Amino acid sequence: MKKIYTVLTLILLLATTSTFAQDFAPVGAKWVYNVDHNGSVFYLEVNSVADTTIQGKSCQKIIADWNCARSGTLYVHTSQDSVFVYDQNFQTFNPLYIFDAIQGDEWTYNFSINDGGFYLDSLNFKIDTAWTQSINGETLRFQKIGGSSLWTGDTVVEKFGLMKYLFFYDNENLPIGLCHDGLASGLRCYSDPTFGSYETGIVDSCYWVNDLSSVTKINSENAVELWPNPANNELNIQLTSTIDELAIYNINGQLVKPINVTPTQNQSLTIDITDLPTGIYSLIGFSNQETIKAKFVKH
């Protein structure tokens, strides 16, 4: 049955369920987004960094690692299946995500912008379709936004939020809460301490960068082959380029295993990966002229 969520209903829900377990944006949660600007590709990282209390409600402090004149900090409160964003200008909580909404449900998200003076605006949401999908062994709810809003056709996923960027921006590409200057173009990776790590695959790795202003060229295609993939104890590597350095990095971009190589083309290597925890990894090789990358899964 279609539901129209009213502000009064959501305020009552917020007031009566403030002790509900915080499933959205737990401390330690991390989102990495794709940024494509003037042909160069970068990344933007968003982190849930602290628990706090606002107006007697348990909240999480979320920050964006992005340099812009507007706010890089946002506070959210989870109540049952709804995520409320704290409006620091008007000191109110407003519903942004309603994960139990189904096809035909709609609601309005009110927000304010301080752009040399406060003004209030709103975004209207209507669910076109809703379904579930298993990721990392958990059943997550998916929603496709319909209607005639700015976000028609975009997807919202439980735990991740909007797949384009965690929080919305308005019709002038002004960020609502978190900085991104309208450049974020999709979720690369999400992780939190209990859910683990998930990589969407829209680029080669969470922290891949292709800076056209740099002399370094990314050339992963046909430069390296890995097998088996997924791998358990051993990983076979076939290099078709001359590489001076080779190493394995985890999903957070941290070096976990350097690999000894000699600068010779067409090398075949077999390395022991039994010491690596289960997860997604990137094999990255460097030379003076290029960088090669390949992704593999450790079971």
Q: How confident is the model over 173-219, as pLDDT tens digits?
A: 444 556 665 678 889 999 999 999 999 888 888 888 776 554 344 44
Q: Are 244 and 276 in contact (CB under 8 A)?
A: no
pLDDT of 98 above 90: yes
Burial 253-274 (b: 16+ CB within 10 A, else e): beebbebebeeeeebeeebebe
CB atoms inside a 10 Å sphere around CB 39: 9
Rounded Cα distance between 74 and 59, Å, is 10
pLDDT at 17: 41
> If 0-12 CB within 10 Å is exposed, 13-18 middle and 19+ buried, where does residue 64 land?
buried
Q: Are 248 and 276 in contact (CB under 8 A)?
A: yes
Residue predicted with more confidence, 49 or 293: 49
CB atoms inside a 10 Å sphere around CB 203: 21
Rounded Cα distance between 166 and 31, Å, is 8
Domains observed in the chain: 7-199 (no CATH), 217-298 (2.60.40.3080)
Kindly list the distances between the CA atom of residue 280 and the CA atoms of 47, 133, 136, 161, 201, in Å, as whole numbers in the listed order: 20, 20, 12, 22, 11
Strand (E) or helix (H) holding 258: strand 255-259
Radius of gyration of the chain (CA): 22
pLDDT of 130 above 60: yes
Helix (H), strand (E), coil (C) string for 168-214: CECCCCCECCCCCCCCEEEEEEEEECCCEEEECCCCCCCCCCECCCC
pLDDT at 242: 77
